[in-house]
């Protein structure tokens, strides 16, 4: 059924694509985890001799994955990340240097370490495979602890007797708030997040965790915002410029927060970072449209359906200037995030020779981000 794929594609890639498309795997985290383990599997079980061959293999498979599931940009991030690991390991193996294997420090190392450019990857390094597997396992551990690392910071961001607003349901936000309630008492206002109304489930879950929760309809967001101390939302992706691709309604929330000068905190596991940009003319391609009958209009009213054109986009684009704070698993990125997001992206995905986080990256980054 998946037409026109090159023959050398690993069959498990196709299975993964199907699983994601048919909704058997959902949620960014699960997708990311299965992508990484898939790539690991490919490295482990395929035949390759040099890093160059391996990278070619990963690129080919990765391209099919990315193209087949264009909306899940974290897949692309993972492919790039694995490629980076390959390059790094290759270089270090080549220099017969052993890596320190403290997972806690790995990102720090990424930030500081640099490699030589213009490397020739065509040498066969026998020990590369095991080193890679080890590194990827390390990375997997990092992914697993990602959410934990974020929720651990909860008490630093939520203070006693604050009123927090959130929209819809995000597992990350839910865990975050539940963690915070262990040490603080606060109140949560949940906007229901039409048309998918995940907020209902969220409110129930929070109330079960004994958090004082209020569920409001989306139209009341602006009215309620004046009494809110802080907005905490999750996101689907963070674009290269710090803009968010998050569920519909987030833009409303962010604008209302802006109007009342309420800080907007976004919980961002780093795998949700995407090196992609949103071009204004691609607004529609950037989004995912589902059937308008899923909450927008009544599917049984076919007379109406004939007369109108209804859209049901899943995501909102929230421009970076509306976001105050990103809480990631390793660091907190504050105001004027546009610059700061820029800073991590290269270090997270590419192993070119950026050394320190300086404003200089702005210029370089423009070159790096591929266009669709």
State which residue, 263 or 313, has the beta carbon closest to another protein. 313
Q: Positive or negative, the Cα torsion across 319, 322, 327, 331?
A: positive
Q: Tell whether residue 30 is a contact of another protein (CB under 8 A).
A: no
Site membership for another protein, residue 41 (CB under 8 A): no
Residue found under tokens 């203070």: 159
As a whole number of angstroms, the distance between CA 31 and CA 28 comes to 5
Nearer Cβ to another protein (308/359)? 308
Stretch that binds another protein, among 131-139, 229-237, 290-298, 324-332 (CB under 8 A): 290-298
Alpha carbon separation from 239 to 26, 170, 243, 251, 317 (Å, rounded): 20, 18, 5, 15, 9
8 binds another protein (CB under 8 A): no
- Point out which span in 230-238, 289-297, 330-338, 354-362 binds another protein (CB under 8 A): 289-297
**Region for 347 from its dihedrals, namely left if φ exceeds 0, alpha if ψ lies in -120 to 50, beta otherwise:** alpha
What six digits make up the tokens of 332? Answer: 């907190």
Cβ-based nearer residue to another protein, 204 or 305: 305
Candidates 193, 71, 84; CA nearest to 135 is 84
**Is 70 a residue that touches another protein (CB under 8 A)?**
yes
Whether cis (ω within 30° of 0) applies to the bond prior to 63 is: no
CB 198 within 8 A of CB 168: yes
* Candidate list 294, 334, 353, 358; residue touching another protein; CB under 8 A: 294
The answer to the question of residue 15 lying near another protein (CB under 8 A) is yes
Residue with tokens 């961001």: 157
18 scored as a contact of another protein (CB under 8 A)? yes
Rounded to a whole number of angstroms, the minimum distance from the CB of residue 103 to another protein is 36
First to last CA, the chain: 24
Question: Can you tell me the distance from the alpha carbon of 30 to that of 93, in angstroms, rounded to the nearest whole number?
Answer: 31
- Smallest distance, Å, CB 2 to another protein? 5
Between residues 285 and 360, which has the closer beta carbon with respect to another protein? 285
How far is Cα 341 from Cα 322, in angstroms, rounded to an integer? 14
Q: How many residues bind another protein (CB under 8 A)?
A: 38
Q: Is 115 in the site for another protein (CB under 8 A)?
A: no
Q: For the beta carbon of residue 362, count every other beta carbon within 10 angstroms.
A: 12
Residue 371 binds another protein (CB under 8 A): no
292 binds another protein (CB under 8 A): yes
* Structure tokens that stand for 351 in this block: 């192993």
Rounded to 5, what percent of the chain is helix, strand, coil?
A: 50, 10, 40
Bridge partners, residue 232, by sequence: 265
Tell which one of 220, 255, 290, 332 touches another protein (CB under 8 A). Answer: 290
Interaction of residue 291 with another protein, rule CB under 8 A: yes
Among 98, 117, 309, 363, binds another protein (CB under 8 A): 309
CA distance 274 to 77: 6
User: Of the listed pieces 102-110, 136-144, 306-314, 361-369, which binds another protein according to CB under 8 A?
Assistant: 306-314
Taking contact as CB under 8 A, which single stretch among the options 242-250, 270-278, 285-293, 362-370 is the one that binds another protein? Answer: 285-293
Q: Which stretch binds another protein (CB under 8 A): 72-80, 183-191, 302-310, 324-332?
A: 302-310
Q: Looking at 307, 359, 367, 371, which residue binds another protein (CB under 8 A)? A: 307
Among 1, 118, 160, 363, binds another protein (CB under 8 A): 1
Strands 237-238 and 244-247: antiparallel
By the 8 A CB rule, do 58 and 42 touch? yes
Q: In sequence order, what are the beta bridge partners of 326?
A: 266, 333
> x/- binding map, residues 265-284, to another protein, per CB under 8 A?
-----------------xxx
Tell which one of 98, 300, 363, 371 touches another protein (CB under 8 A).
300
Interface residue list for another protein (CB under 8 A): 1-4, 11, 14-15, 17-18, 21-22, 67-68, 70, 282-285, 289-294, 298-307, 309-312
């Amino acid at each position: 059924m998946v037409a026109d794929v090159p023959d050398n594609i690993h069959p498990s890639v196709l299975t993964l694509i199907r699983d994601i498309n048919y909704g058997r795997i959902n949620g960014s985290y699960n997708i990311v985890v299965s992508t990484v383990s898939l790539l690991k599997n490919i490295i482990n079980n395929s035949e390759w001799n040099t890093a160059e061959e391996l990278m070619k293999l990963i690129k080919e498979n990765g391209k099919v994955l990315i193209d087949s599931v264009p909306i899940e940009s974290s897949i692309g991030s993972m492919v790039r990340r694995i490629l980076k690991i390959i390059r790094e390991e290759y270089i270090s193996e080549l220099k017969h240097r052993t890596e320190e294997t403290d997972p806690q420090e790995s990102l720090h190392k990424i930030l500081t370490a640099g490699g030589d450019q213009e490397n020739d990857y065509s040498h066969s390094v026998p020990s590369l495979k095991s080193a890679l597997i080890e590194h990827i396992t390390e990375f997997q551990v990092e992914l697993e602890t990602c959410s934990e690392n974020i929720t651990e910071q909860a008490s630093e961001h939520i203070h006693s007797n604050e009123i927090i607003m959130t929209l819809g349901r995000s597992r990350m936000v839910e865990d975050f708030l539940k963690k915070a309630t262990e040490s603080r008492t606060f109140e949560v206002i949940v906007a229901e997040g039409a048309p998918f109304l995940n907020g209902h489930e969220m409110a129930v879950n929070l109330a079960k965790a004994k958090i004082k929760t209020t569920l409001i309809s989306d139209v009341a967001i602006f009215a309620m915002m004046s009494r809110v101390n802080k907005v905490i939302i999750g996101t689907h992706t963070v674009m290269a410029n710090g803009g968010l691709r998050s569920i519909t309604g987030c833009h409303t929330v962010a604008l209302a927060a802006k109007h009342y000068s309420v800080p907007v905190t976004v919980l961002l596991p780093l795998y949700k970072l995407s090196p992609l940009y949103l071009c204004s003319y691609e607004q529609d391609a950037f989004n995912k449209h589902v059937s308008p009958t899923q909450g927008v209009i009544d599917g049984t009213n076919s007379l109406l359906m004939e007369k109108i054109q209804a859209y049901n986009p899943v995501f909102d684009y929230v421009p970076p200037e509306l976001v105050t704070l990103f809480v990631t698993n390793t660091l907190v990125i504050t105001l004027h995030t546009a610059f700061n997001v820029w800073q991590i992206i290269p270090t997270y995905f590419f192993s070119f020779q950026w050394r320190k986080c300086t404003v200089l990256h702005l210029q370089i980054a423009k070159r790096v981000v591929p266009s669709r």
